[in-house]
A = this chain, B = another copy of it.
Amino acid sequence: MPNPDDRQPADDDPPAVPPLDLDRCALAIDIGGTKFAAGLVTELGEIVSSRRIRNPQGHDPEALFAALTEVIDSVLHAAGIEPEGPLPLPAIGIATAAPMDRDAGTVSPVNIPAWRGFALRDRLVERYGLEVRMFGDAVAVAVGEHWRGAARGRRNVLGMVVSTGVGGGVIIDGKVVTGTTGNAGHIGHISVDPFGPKCVCGGIGCLEAIASGTNIAAWARAHGSDAPDAVALADAARRGDPVALATFRRAGEAIGLAVAGAVTLLDLDVVVIGGGVAAAGSLLFDPIADAYSRYAGLGYASSPRVVPALLGGDAGLIGAAAAVLQAESYWPHSF
């Protein structure tokens, strides 16, 4: 008699979906300047269920927290988990827009004025009864792209997000560089032009002051464009608008110079760039490669190695989940 375990699946069997092992999943949260996202992520870095909203405006920190928990609860519901009971998950990973205070567990995202020193960690611990591991959203994108995206299998990586601001995360020998105060990765605030524009951080000629979505749009407007934002500007550039084209060239060249410096200093394998502005594609990546080749002279650094991110808006959630599911391989410290 044949062993029933040996039988081949018949053509009309549904594909075998293993049951979800919630013990090996993470609840991941991504607090961006303009969006809240939550997701349930497996140990393979796959997103089982997720939800994203444009975060509410206004000045009520509690209304914002209620909006966030609604997003989280709906993700749990979709995975068949009752949000009110004890959650069968190991921990929560949070990627958050800067600045944050990791020791205090508070967040004060620049673009979320309602939250200033908001005790996000304690509030989530209180509500969901799980440990919370929190770090920067740009570092999360770098980790996400390393774990499951464009930098998979590489040892030394810079991950960048070019959107409202310009952020980043550095991975050396497969480990996240956290820095002395937990702030490593801020490539948006290195100066790429000693006589460049003043930056909101107080610096001069910072990459972010030239290449962020906000500053790209502002520079184009100052030069006669009527595009309201970087997306409209990319459309205009694709139609051949000379101001729009010059704007992306200027931003891309600033990025290329900064990235050439980072690769030269750290001898990196690859630089992965994501974020809304990076969606402009070759409008941005062509001038990045041109400037990279111009400024990276040493042999080991000279071939451009800048690639678009692969995970899109999911990179932050996947990176946040890594703080729960891959903490030992990525972090030099315990959370």
Contacts and interface: CB of A to CB of B under 8 A. Distances in A.
Interface of A: 99, 155-156, 168, 170, 172-173, 175, 177-187, 189-194, 199, 201-206, 253, 257, 260-262, 264-269, 294-302, 332
Nearest to A168: B265
Most interface-central of A155, A184, A253, A261 (chain B CB within 10 A) = A261
A287 to B, nearest CB: 12
Contacts of A298: 183, 186, 189, 201-203
Most interface-central of A204, A264, A269 (chain B CB within 10 A) = A264
Contacts of A179: 156, 266-268, 300
A165 to B, nearest CB: 12
Contacts of A194: 192-193, 253, 257, 295
A204 B155 CA distance: 28
Contacts of A296: 189, 203
Given A189-B264, A194-B193, A257-B191, A183 B300 contact: yes
A175 B156 CA distance: 14
Nearest to A253: B194
A203 B294 contact: yes
B297 A203 contact: yes
Contacts of A99: 299
Given A186-B265, A206-B297, 7 more contacts: A156-B180, A172-B177, A173-B178, A179-B268, A202-B297, A261-B261, A262-B265
B202 A265 contact: no
Given A156-B180, A267-B179, A332 B173 contact: yes
A292 to B, nearest CB: 10
A330 to B, nearest CB: 13
A201 B298 CA distance: 6
